[in-house]
Amino acid sequence: MAIIQSLYDYFKACPLLGDGKINVDYLPEKTREYTIDAITGDPYIKRYARGAAMKQYLFAFGNREFYGPDVLQNIANSGFYEDFSDWLEQQTKARNFPALGPGKTPRKIEAQSTGYLFGASPDSARYQIQCRLIYYQEGLH
Residues 6+ positions from 79 with CB-CB distance below 8 Å: none
- Structural domain for 40, as ranges: 3-137
Compute how many other C-beta atoms are within 10 angstroms of the C-beta atom of residue 139. Answer: 13
Number of domains in the chain: 1
For 32-68, what is each residue's pLDDT tens digit? 899 999 999 999 999 998 899 999 999 999 999 888 7
pLDDT of residue 141: 62
Is the separation of the CB atoms in 35 and 22 below 8 Å? Answer: yes
Give the Å distances, CA to CA, from 78 to 36, 53, 114, 115, 126: 18, 35, 9, 6, 11
Q: What is the pLDDT of residue 37?
A: 97
Is 80 exceeded by the pLDDT of residue 136? yes
Query: How big is the CA angle at 41 (ends 35 and 42), to the nearest 5 degrees?
Result: 135
**pLDDT tens across 62-76, in order?**
999 888 787 888 888
What was the pLDDT predicted at 22?
A: 95
Confidence of residue 15 (pLDDT cuts 50, 70, 90): very high
3-state SS class at 63: strand
Please give the mean pLDDT across all residues of the chain: 92
Maximum distance among all alpha carbons in the chain? 59
pLDDT of residue 60: 98
CATH code where residue 78 lies: 3.30.2000
Residues 80-104 as b/e (b if ≥16 CB within 10 A, e otherwise) read bbeebbebbeebbeeeebbebeeeb
| Sign of the four-CA dihedral 112, 118, 21, 76 | positive
Quick one: residue 98, left, alpha or beta (phi over 0 = left, psi -120 to 50 = alpha)?
Answer: beta
Q: What is the pLDDT of residues 70-104, one digit of tens each?
A: 788 888 888 999 999 999 999 999 999 999 999 99
Q: How far apart are the first and last CA of the chain?
A: 20
